[in-house]
Amino acid sequence: MSEHGGAQLPMAMLLVFGTAKIMGEIFERLHLPNIVGEILAGVVLGASVLNWVEPKQIAEFADLGVMFLLFRVGLEVKASDLIKVGRVASIVALLGVLVPFGMGYAIYIYTGSNQIEALFVGAAMVATSVGITAQVLASKGLLNVRASRIILAAAVIDDILGLIVLAVVSSMAKGEVDILQLTTTAGLSIGFTIFMLSVGTKTMERVLPGIDKRLRGGESQFSLAMILLFALAVFATYAGVAAIIGAFLAGVALAESVSHRVHDLAQGVTELLVPFFLAGIGLALDISVLKDPRTLTIAAVITVAAIVSKFVGCGLGAMSLGWPDARRIGAGMVPRGEVGMVVAQIGAGLGIVSKATYGVVVLMAVMTTVVAPVLLTLTFRSLAQMPDDPDETPIRIE
């Protein structure tokens, strides 16, 4: 039947996937990171240029795509490796929150904005979008070098800190700071993460083979993995952190118990959906709000501040490892991607963040995301030929 399903879904899939892959290929040939091409494909298809695709048409595929990306990355990471780098990662995350928050707040106060809006801009500059960095590192087979592990661990901690900052700022906006509720939220999210990292992997190693053996359906291990992925994504949001953190922890918990077949099948979903995540970031950009020269100037300043503050803050936190790794970690924490936009949306929903400021935050989020792959390529160049842990087979997620 011609009306069955209709052309709308396959057309959106074709436009976004096709354009992302073609622009990725062009960037690859120009010796630029292809991930930047895929993000810019979204800018081209979105409101800024062609206006052919609306963000909400592909929002579910984008959300699922970044969940699978983090799940796949988790499958390559051992919980013990993350715990080992926990101390350094905590310092990296903490300085990576304080420096950008302070700079964003200060700049907005300087422009004459009110206190609360400035706090929201600061909060929007806090959250790292680990998806972008994970994609770049995975595509280079560099997930298992020390700097990458610290970035991943710091991104998890960063998400928890970002949650707390957002909760504080939101309750200040509403004029009531409920310390008990804030403590509960923080405790829940930290508890969930520590529980999954410490108990999760061992439980899976003990439990999974037994359940798997008793199931009769085809590809039952993959089905179990998917159920764990979705369950932890749900639990994570209930605990207050992002669904992708749950997806990542599901991957880590399964890393040592799941067959290669599950990796391949999950990889198929990742390959299909990640371009929607990347292009989805670009789709959100609407350059028309930046026509006003004053807004454009603020956007430029905020964007530069966002890059510098994360790079310097996180780099400082990792100085104990020496300059090369500090640079790598600083670069890896730069992208804000979709997370910064969500904070700005909440502020807009509360009537605190103006349309112009929202446009500024979106530009900052997109630009940090475009710059990060370039910084990563430069800072990780010397490692690309010689991974520091030859036992680990590098994988390609791209």
Q: Which 59-88 residues touch a copy of itself, going by CB under 8 A? A: 60-61, 63-64, 66-67
**Pick 224 or 331: Cβ nearer a copy of itself:** 224
Three-state DSSP state, 14:
helix
Q: Which parts of 46-178 fold into alpha helices (H)? A: 59-75, 79-84, 86-110, 115-124, 130-139, 146-173
Residue linked to tokens 């990725």:
24
Q: Is 268 in the site for a copy of itself (CB under 8 A)?
A: yes
The least distance separating a copy of itself from the CB of residue 270, rounded to whole angstroms, comes to 8
Q: Residue 194 or 211: which CB sits closer to a copy of itself? A: 211
Print the SS3 string covering 173-214.
HCCCCCHHHHHHHHHHHHHHHHHHHHHHHHHHHHHHHHHHHH
Least Å from the CB of residue 119 to a copy of itself: 15
219 binds a copy of itself (CB under 8 A): yes
CB nearer to a copy of itself: give 88 or 163.
163
Residue 243 as a binder of a copy of itself (CB under 8 A): the answer is yes
User: Of residues 96-135, which lie at the interface with a copy of itself (CB under 8 A)?
Assistant: 127
Nearer to a copy of itself, 141 or 200 (CB): 141
In the complex with a copy of itself, the residue whose CB is nearer, 67 or 305, is 67
Which is closer to a copy of itself, CB of 216 or CB of 291?
Answer: 216
How far apart are alpha carbons 347 and 379 in whole angstroms?
34
Q: Is the dihedral of CA 345, 346, 351, 352 positive or negative?
A: negative
CB of 350 to a copy of itself, least distance (A): 12
Q: How many CA atoms lie within 13 A of 25 on its CB side?
A: 6
**Where in 348-367 is the site for a copy of itself (CB under 8 A)?**
none
How near is the Cβ of 80 to a copy of itself at its closest, in Å?
Answer: 27
Contact 138, 71 (CB under 8 A): no
* Phi/psi at 283 (5° precision): -60, -30
Residues 1-20 that bind a copy of itself (CB under 8 A): 1-7, 9-11, 13-14, 17-18
Stretch that binds a copy of itself, among 295-303, 324-332, 334-342, 353-361 (CB under 8 A): 334-342
Site for a copy of itself (CB under 8 A): which residue of 83, 168, 230, 296?
Answer: 230
The CA-based diameter of the chain, rounded to the nearest angstrom, is 65
Which residue type sits at 4? H
Query: Does 267 engage in binding with a copy of itself (CB under 8 A)?
Result: yes
Instruction: Name the residue nearer to a copy of itself (CB basis): 130 or 326.
Output: 130
Instruction: Please name which of 143, 116, 72, 99 lies closest in space to residue 315, comparing C-alpha atoms.
Output: 99
Secondary structure of residue 335 in the 3-state scheme: coil
**Which lies closer to a copy of itself via its Cβ, residue 2 or residue 288?**
2
Q: Which residue has the tokens 């806090």?
A: 126
**Phi and psi, residue 311, nearest 5°:** -60, -45
* Binding test (CB under 8 A) with a copy of itself, winner from 83, 296, 342, 348: 342
DSSP 275-325: HHHHHHHHHT--GGGG-SHHHHHHHHHHHHHHHHHHHHHHHHHTGGG-HHH
| Residue 162 interacts with a copy of itself (CB under 8 A): yes or no | yes
State the binding string over 271-300 for a copy of itself (x if CB under 8 A, else -): xx----------------------------
